[in-house]
Every structure is written in structure tokens, then in C-alpha cells.
Structure 1
């Protein structure tokens, strides 16, 4: 009898340990907010449920206004408090075509500082006054500057006088006093810094939101190539691009799409965010198809498809696999890890290359996300952002 009791205790302890582990996993892994776009079931239903007072609801049946609910395991064991809401079903026009990016900054970015040779030795006026790489110069002597030519014409036209320089560093503004020094060798005054005012590149259109008139692309922000800081966008243009060549990725080396920019405009860029770039579109291309948008809790590990353009012609659909999902990832560009499984795409690109960022991901007939970054050590793998995040951003712009 004692042996049977010991066996029972061991089994009970094992079951309790499993339940505790599942609860701990759910508390850390499952999303703290849930949005339901329709009444379709999702991957959490049947295991986890939401309790509103005395009523227990499947996680895909929620009230229309945002409210707190308790997420329970098997309808009985509390896991965590979550904020739930229900939204009207959302649909967008999904394309996947490559496009050209022309972006102009709001101010000029300091991309480097350099000593100036003077009669009394080397000096660095920019560094001496407190300017750092990554700072954005907003104005000089209360004159707004938008191009590197603006900065050069103001600073070089002086006889050693000082300038009041307003910079933006992160989210804070600072006022500094910059005094250029005379460079005998070049015969002019120099501030000892390099600045940049624009950038260009290639990306992929994710979708067109007809309700808001906004298109979304890239799935990640555009950073300055030198400072790695987000480009402070003043204005920008998205243009049609034709893929002329694909440089394949290899382990440790990122390939890229090489494109020719066309004169036809897709739209005007409005916002550069951590989950993509957004703009007002002029028209929707013929290659775009309408897809419903999946909520984040509908995304599942397993097979999916990627729509992208890696050669001349229209976008094509290729097989991929969702290998990891992170609901609570603080970096919104890395909610999923995907793996390219399509042999045709691997043959053409080696996996994921620069320019494929923004390629829409389809699963079970819904848009679930967009490709963002390649994993350089294994170019057949990369990161992706949830479509729900991008669609919500497109409706806020």
C-alpha cells in the first residue's frame, strides 16, 4: 500500500510540475494584449481561455471594447492578465514587388568627425563643442538646415566667428556653440565633421491599405549606414524598380537585389518607423491581391509562403517555414524566425538577400507578417514582423 502511495505521489508531483511549467511558459510567452479580427479559431483556443467574471470565453470570442481578462489554462488555472479587444475584419492589397527608396532627412546627420590641421596643431571644433556622431543638426543661427550644402555654405562663410547650433540627440534637443577653425592648407574655415542629408535603397512593398490610403514596406526602419541611427525623415519618394540582377547570399555574406529605378512614382513616403516605412500611394499595381489580415495569435509554426520579386517580372510565391514565434519580443522587427524551404528561391538567391525586406508572408490564406532581416550566419533564415503590427501602424499614419 505504501509503495502505491509513493508511486501516486510521484505521478502527482510530475503532473504538478508539468502544469507549473506550462503556466510559467504561458505567462512569459503568450501576448499581454489580444486583438481578434474575426470569429475564426486560433492556436490558443482549446488550451487557453479568457475568463470575464463568471463567464469563460474562448480566446477568439471577445467583447468589442478593450478590457482586462484572465487567461486560464483549460479554463481553470489562472495564467496571466491580458487586455483583449475585438476589431472589424481587416483586408489589405498584398503585392510583394521590389521598389526604389529616395529619402530626404529632416536636418542633416553627423556621420563622422575629423581633426583639422591648423597653424597651432590639430583641432576638432565639432568634437570640442560637444557634437557627436549620430547627432542631427536642425538649425544653425536659427536657420533651419536640410542639406549638407546648407551646412557648408553657412559654416564656411565666416572669419572665425561662432555659430549657435541646435542638434537633436535621440529625443532631446541641445543648443551648442560651434567655432570653426582656419585650415591654412585648404585656405578656409572648417568645422571638422561630415554630414549626410539623404539616402537611397531597394525594398519590397508589403501591402496597400485602401481604408487609409497608405502603403507599407520593409518591415523595419531605415538607418544611416554609418551611424546606425534611424534616419529622421523630412520627405521621400517610392518609385517603381526593375530587378536586373541578384547577388546571392552565402554563409557570412549578405547578397542583394540590384535594380534600376524607373520614373513611375508609387507614392510619397511619410513615416520611417521601427516596423517599416509608410507612405501615401498613388495607385495599386495589377499584381496586388486582397488578403485578410491575421491577428498575432493566429500565426502558427509550420509552413507558409513568401511573396517577393527576385528577378524581372511580377512577384512570385515561394515556400517557407515559420520556425519560431515571439509574441512579446521588444524588437518588433523580430517577432518571428522564418526559414526558406523553396529550392527555386534558394537557387536564385541563396536564401534571403538585401532588398527582400518587406516581402509579405501568407499562411492559411491570410497575411501574417513581413520579412525584415537575414540571419547572416545562415542566410536561409531570417526575421519577420507581425502583419497586425504593420496594419495598425498604417492606420495611425
Structure 2
């Protein structure tokens, strides 16, 4: 009898541990908010259901929205509360063509603090004043500034007088007083900082949203190469580009697509966000095809394809596998891990290279996501963002 009780206790402990483990996992791994399209089936609905007014609903069952629901395991054990929004199925024109990026900042970014050589040694006027790398200069002596040439002209045309410099650091504005010092070697006064007002690069267009007139690309934000901070965008331009050369990725080394820009404008860039860049398009590419957008809950581990332009100027589908899915809303660029399985693409690029960011991922006839980053240690693998996240952002 005692042996039977001990066995029962062990089994009960094991069952409780599994249940509590699943609850803890559900709180961390499952999303806090869900957008569903026309009652699509969700793979997690087999275990987790919403409960509202004593009525159990599958995770993606249609009902009024938005609403707060209790997410329960097997319809019994409460896990967490989630926000549920029901929307009509969205469709977009999926592209996959490479394009050129010209981005101009809102303000001027401080990308370096420099010491100035004087008769009494090296000094840093900007650093001593409190200015830091990553600060954004928005005005000098009350005059708004937008270009590095403008900053250089204002600070350079002086005889050592002080300037009131207004900067943006994070979400706060601060004011500093910078006094340039005379550099004997160069024969002029210097403030001791490097600044940047623009950047250029290449990427891949993910989709054109005809409902909003907006296109989405990259799947991740554009950061300054020196400060690693997001570039505050004032304006920008998307231009047509053609692939001229491919530097293949190898283990430990990220390859890239090298492209030639053309004078043909595809659209005007409007926003630079953590899940992609977005802009108003001039026209939809001839190579774009219409696909419905998969809800986050529809995306599954398994086979899929990615559309990329790596040769001949035309997008092409290549086979990949989605190996991992996460719902971390604080890191929207890395919702999935994908693996390139198409031998043709591996032979051409080594896997994923810079310039393929934004390449649309298709699964079960729907737009499921977009490539964002290569995993440097294994370039046949990379990260991806959910398509629903990008499309929802384009509607804002």
C-alpha cells in the first residue's frame, strides 16, 4: 500500500511539474496580443483556448474585437490574459526585388568625439561639454540643422566663441555649450566631433500594400554604422538597383550583394522602424504577385520558400525551412529562425548575405515573413520577422 502511495505521489509530482512548466512556458513564449484573420486555424489552439463569458473559443475563432480574453490550457488551467483583435484577411503584392536606399537624417548624428591638438596638449571641446556619440544635433544657437555641411559651416565660422547646441538623446532634448578651440596645425577653430547626415545601402522589398499605398522592406531598422543607433529619418528615397556582384557568405564572414543604383525612383521613404522601413511607392513592380498575409499563429515550423533577387535582375523562389518560432514582441526582427536548404541558392550566395534583408517568406500560399539577419557562425541560417507585424506597421 505504501509503495502504491509513493508511486502515486511521484506520478502526481511529475504531472504537476509538467503542467506548471507549460504554464510558465506559455506566459513567456505565447504572445500578449493576437490579431486573427477570418478565423484562421492556429496550431496552438489544440492546447490553448480563450475563455470569454463561460464560452471557450479556439485561439483564432471569430468574435467581436478588440477584447481581453483569458488564455487557458485545455480550456481549464488559466495561463495569462491576452488581447484579441479580429480583422478581415489582408492581401499584399509580394515582391522580392533588390533596391537602393538613400536615407537622410532628422538632425545630424554625432558619430565620433575627437581630441584637438593645441599648444597645451590635446583637448576635446565637445566631449568636455558633455556631448556623446549617438547624440542628434537638432539646433545650434537656435538655428535648426539638417546637414553635416551646415554644422561644419556654423561651427567653423568663428573665432573661438561659444555655441549653444541642442541635442536629442533618446527621447529627451538637452542643451550644451561648446567652445571650439584653436588647432595650430590646421590653423582654425575646431569643436572636436564627427557628424553624419545621411546613409545609403541596399535591401529587398517585401511587399506593396495597395490598401495603404505603402511598401515595406528590410524587416529591420537601419542603424548608423558607427553609433549602432537607429537612424532618425527625415526623408529618404528608394531607387531601382541591379545586382552586379555577389560576395558569398562563409562561416564567420557575412557576404553581400553588390548593386548598381539607377535613376529610377521606386518610392519615397517615410519611416525607419524596428520591423522594417516603409514608404509611399510610385508604382508596383511588374514582378510582384498577390498573396494573403498569414497571421502569426498560422506560421509553422517546416518547409517554406524565400523570394530573393541574386542574379539576372529577377526575383526567384528558393527552398528554406522554418526551424524555430518565437513570439517575443520586444524583438520583432527575430521572430523566426530559418535555414536555407536550396542548393542553388547556397551555391550562389553561401546562404544568406547582406542585401537579402526583406526577402519575403512564403508558406502554404501565404506571406509568412521576411528575412532580417544572417547568423554569422552559420550563414545558411538566419532570422526573420512575421509578415503580419510588418503589414500591421504599414497600416499605421
TM-score with structure 2 length normalisation?
Answer: 0.97
Aligned to 1:195: 195
Aligned to 2:139: 139
Q: Deviations for 1:312-335, whole angstroms, at most 9, x for unmatched residues? A: 221011111111111124211111
Aligned to 1:295: 295
Q: Tell me whether 1:353 sits opposite 2:323 in the alignment.
A: no
Q: Residue 32 of structure 1 contacts residue 328 of structure 1 at CA under 8 Å; is this kept in 2?
A: no
Q: Residue 107 of structure 1 contacts residue 138 of structure 1 at CA under 8 Å; is this kept in 2?
A: yes
Structure 1 residue 271, shift from structure 2 partner: 0.5
Aligned to 2:367: 367
Q: Point out the more displaced range, 57-66 or 168-177.
A: 57-66
Write the distance in 1 (CA, Å) between the matches of 2:121 and 2:80: 64
Structure 1 residues 13-162: aligned runs within 5 Å? 13-162=13-162
Write the distance in 2 (CA, Å) between the matches of 1:113 and 1:11: 64
Write the distance in 1 (CA, Å) between the matches of 2:2 and 2:348: 67
Report the count of equivalent residues.
396
Structure 1 residue 12, shift from structure 2 partner: 3.8
Q: Point out the more displaced range, 326-335 or 286-295.
A: 326-335
Q: Residue 62 of structure 1 contacts residue 85 of structure 1 at CA under 8 Å; is this kept in 2?
A: no
Write the distance in 2 (CA, Å) between the matches of 1:50 and 1:342: 39
Structure 1 residue 175, shift from structure 2 partner: 0.9
Q: Residue 31 of structure 2 contacts residue 329 of structure 2 at CA under 8 Å; is this kept in 1?
A: no
Write the distance in 2 (CA, Å) between the matches of 1:124 and 1:21: 55
Write the distance in 2 (CA, Å) between the matches of 1:142 and 1:192: 20
Structure 1 residue 176, shift from structure 2 partner: 0.9
TM-score with structure 1 length normalisation?
Answer: 0.97
Structure 1 residues 237-256: aligned runs within 5 Å? 237-256=237-256
Gap regions ≥5 residues in structure 2: none
Which ranges of 4 or more aligned residues in structure 1 deviate by more than 4 Å?
1-6
Structure 1 residue 70, shift from structure 2 partner: 1.2
Q: Residue 306 of structure 1 contacts residue 361 of structure 1 at CA under 8 Å; is this kept in 2?
A: yes
Write the distance in 2 (CA, Å) between the matches of 1:31 and 1:274: 18
**Secondary structure in 2 matching 1:202:** strand
Q: Tell me whether 1:217 sits opposite 2:217 in the alignment.
A: yes
Write the distance in 1 (CA, Å) between the matches of 2:110 and 2:23: 49
Q: Residue 96 of structure 2 contacts residue 206 of structure 2 at CA under 8 Å; is this kept in 1?
A: yes
Structure 1 residue 354, shift from structure 2 partner: 0.4
Structure 1 residue 261, shift from structure 2 partner: 0.4
Write the distance in 2 (CA, Å) between the matches of 1:31 and 1:122: 53
Gap regions ≥5 residues in structure 1: none
Q: Deviations for 1:154-189, whole angstroms, at most 9, x for unmatched residues? A: 111111111111111111111111111111221111
